[in-house]
């Protein structure tokens, strides 16, 4: 740590992690305040729908995942058919039109197995 870059980088990484956690909490509170109801496919917590991206059909994926419409949901299925089951939720970011941010927003709704 002679030039301070390592310390600064660690501080930035920690700050980004704290920001993501803060945003997750904020989004959850906003959704609760507005009483947004999601269709119940399965539920890990009351009011939060979850979907298995390794077995769900396109309509279910589009219904449960925020920012994923029917065409992106179909792209998820096509990717799954070509590459096999997802091993990590961030593999979704390999699909055109789905980025890390979309995965982060939906992370609590995504399951890889039943």
Residues 41-76: pLDDT tens digits?
444 455 558 999 999 999 999 999 999 999 999 999
The dihedrals phi and psi of 80, each to the nearest 5 degrees, come to: -60, -40
Q: How far apart are CA 89 and CA 25, in angstroms?
A: 20
Q: Give the model's pLDDT for residue 38.
A: 38
CB 5 within 8 A of CB 12: no
Q: What is the pTM of this model?
A: 0.59
Token pair, residue 81, equals 């058919």
- Collapsing DSSP to helix, strand or coil, 51 comes out as strand
């Amino acid at each position: 740590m002679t030039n301070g870059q390592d310390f600064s980088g660690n501080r930035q990484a920690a700050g980004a992690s704290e920001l993501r956690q803060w945003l997750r909490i904020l989004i959850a509170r906003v959704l609760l305040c507005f009483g947004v109801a999601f269709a119940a496919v399965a539920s890990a917590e009351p009011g939060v729908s979850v979907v298995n991206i390794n077995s769900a059909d396109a309509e279910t994926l589009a219904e449960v995942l925020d920012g994923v419409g029917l065409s992106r949901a179909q792209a998820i299925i096509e990717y799954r058919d070509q590459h096999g089951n997802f091993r990590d939720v961030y593999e979704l970011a390999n699909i055109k039109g789905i980025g890390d941010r979309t995965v982060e927003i939906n992370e609590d709704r995504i399951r890889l197995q039943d």
